[in-house]
A and B are shown apart, each in its own frame.
Chain A
Amino acid sequence: MTPRALGSLVLIVAAAGGTLPAAAQGPIRIGASLSLTGTYAEPGRFQSEGYKLCEKDLNARGGLLGRKVEMVVYDDQSMPATGVRLYEKLITEDKVDAVMGPYSSAISEAVANVTEKYKKVMVAPLAATTSIFKKGRRYAFMMVSPAEVYLEGLVDIAAKRGYKTIAIINEDTLFPKSSAQGTEELARKAGLQVVFKEAYPKGNQDFSGLLTKLKASNPDVLAAATYFDDAVAIARQMKELDVNPRMFAVTVGGDIPRFQELLKQTAEYIYGSSQWEPTLPYPGAKEFHDAYQKEFKHEPSYHAAAGYAGCVIYAEGVKKVGTLDADKVREALLALKTRTMFGDYQVDKDGAQIAHKTVLLQWQEGKRVVVWPDDLANGKPRFPR
């Protein structure tokens, strides 16, 4: 047996027998599984780049607790079952020191059971469904504002302008559905009358039937809880069918540059919600944007910013207590109140986010303009005619 073959054999045996105990001052390893392939690949990759940039920045500033930080990232193929298995692998085989959340509410919901079992703090930067955090879980933390308030700005502006009626449509999956339900509640509270409400299945492409019915109810405002493809299709078909509410907003999709590239003039006046924009006056938002652009050669989305901020928040908690001990870090994260490049962070006693704001954008002359809330806005909403 050649020395090299012997060496690789030893390596294989070592790998099979589990990882060797790390030296006391080895790197702090943080594990995560993300949707790098499958349905959620697009946002999942942004989030993973956010984690990577955070790793780089932490190390540039001397690491965490004087140790280097190393991210261990796997692909969960956008499947909850795979995510569950991978977190189990990260924790019991790779023996990572800490974990960060996966992409999407559905996968976060599934893997939270594993991280709870092993008492690992998990900051879940892209789980926007509050119910995940309201099940007595102790170690899960939410970063973004809940699905229910994505269109708070739309309802607020409409009510202030004296509009009376609203129509609400949504894709029939966990996140858009929660979003539509929340919007309905907010609208009722603001005194708007819900004149039309309907859901459509995931992957739907023909909205003409739905829009014709919607047109008959003649709403002042249309709220659509969407992902990207459906948002574009709805905007196009509204134009074709001449459906013209005074205000039209989509939840996800309206914030992505490609939305305007595909729709051109049709995107004008359309509102979209966003968890984050590089133009928002948060400390370090612009620096993050520039560093990201430099590192990955493309613009960050809010998923990237949320991933980065989630990792920063976790590091903040660890620094506060000077240890990786889950119970102590948990206490620190529950008490923490801060503003990062991503916006405000504060959670209630269950770890659910209560401070972060979702802003409302409007496409004006081909540009995204933040129109709500007032203290973060860089423009005023415009109305057709």
Chain B
Amino acid sequence: MSARRPMVLVLIAVGLAALAAYPTVGTGYGVRAMLQLFMWIALAGSWNLVSGLTGYVSFGHVAFFGIGSYATAILITRAAWPWLPASLAGGVAAAVLALVIGYPCLRLKGPYFAIAMLGLNEVLRVLVSYFEGLTGGGLGLSLPTLQATLPIYYVMGATAAAVTLLTYLILTSRFGLRLMTIREDEIAAEALGIDTFRHKLSALLLSAVGPGIVGGLAARDQGYIEPISVFPLATTITMIVMVLFGGKGTVWGPVLGAAVLFVFQEAVWARFIYLHQLLFGAIIIAVVLLMPRGVLGLLQLKYRLPRTI
């Protein structure tokens, strides 16, 4: 284990360096596809932080993405903020939202949180449409034209890396052990003296920041947002599928799931327009039936890989 460690670090460093150098050789499409992949890694990794570790399934994680998008777009258009601080503010906005929804809901055990998150997304979409003075309502918000794909590529990549690193740090900490205890048996966790409410809420706050920042970056890169395209339930579903595929509660599971499914989608959907949704559905069913713990979960069981992978 300790002998393998430097090897792993070197591998990671080489991988990161390759990704950092990629824009010098990649095409415009390649850079944008990688940017999108980073986005999915950050989203899936964030969902994994709360749902993979505590077992509290969030069916509305795209709400944090959406509020980050809107916070960023509003700061850029109405207050003329530069995009970088505006995106970070999007992360803060998402954390505040997580506090507001998590404080009442996570005091309860069981499925209430899942339902509340689902509702939260719908409520936000209606609210955004309603306060049109600020958000443009159904007209959407158009950001001033700016070509910043390259810097956004790096910031998006850094966010994905940060979420993955955070997952590693949590998984190897006492905090992470306590979260997993909650997942396995919440009553037992309480009996052990764990303040379950505070732990669940912290996990939710940490898992909201990433999507908030990523939402802001996506809004800036795309240049136009509207309520319907920013709060789609499908985005949450994709995050969940990526994590389930890769292995929930692991460090590299969301990265693996995002990479495999994103590449798969890119490759398949251009050729089989009507078939790819069917294939996506088939993957979900196959994963649940054949490897409910995901690819990494399966490998961990079979080859006794360390839990912190």
Contact = CB atoms under 8 A, between A and B. Distances in A.
A88 B273 CA distance: 19
A174 B147 CA distance: 24
A202 interface: yes
B229 A174 contact: no
A44 to B, nearest CB: 11
B137 interface: yes
B224 A80 contact: yes
B305 interface: no
Interface in A79-104: 79-81, 84-85, 88-89, 91-93
Interface of A: 18, 36-37, 39, 74-75, 77, 79-81, 84-85, 88-89, 91-93, 106, 109-110, 113, 116-118, 131, 135-137, 171-174, 176-178, 199, 201-202
A18 B30 CA distance: 11
B231 to A, nearest CB: 12
7 contacts: A36-B274, A37-B273, A81-B36, A92-B29, A93-B29, A113-B223, A172-B129
B138 interface: yes
Contact of A18 (B27, B221, B223): B27
A174 B29 contact: no
A80 B222 contact: yes
Contacts of B139: 174, 177-178
B280 to A, nearest CB: 11
Interface residues of B, number: 30
Given A18-B27, A178-B139, A201-B129, 7 more contacts: A92-B30, A116-B145, A117-B147, A172-B137, A173-B226, A174-B140, A202-B228
**A-B residue pairs, 4 tightest by C-beta:** A92-B28, A172-B138, A92-B27, A89-B29
A109 B30 contact: no
Given A110-B223, A136-B145, A172-B137, A81 B229 contact: yes
Contacts of B222: 80-81, 84, 110, 113
B73 to A, nearest CB: 13
Contacts of B112: none
B226 A174 contact: yes
A199 B36 CA distance: 34
Interface string B142-157: 1001010000000000
A153 B235 CA distance: 41
A84 B269 CA distance: 15
Contacts of B30: 92-93
A177 B28 contact: no
Contacts of A37: 273-274, 277
Nearest to B270: A74
B183 interface: no
A177 B137 contact: yes
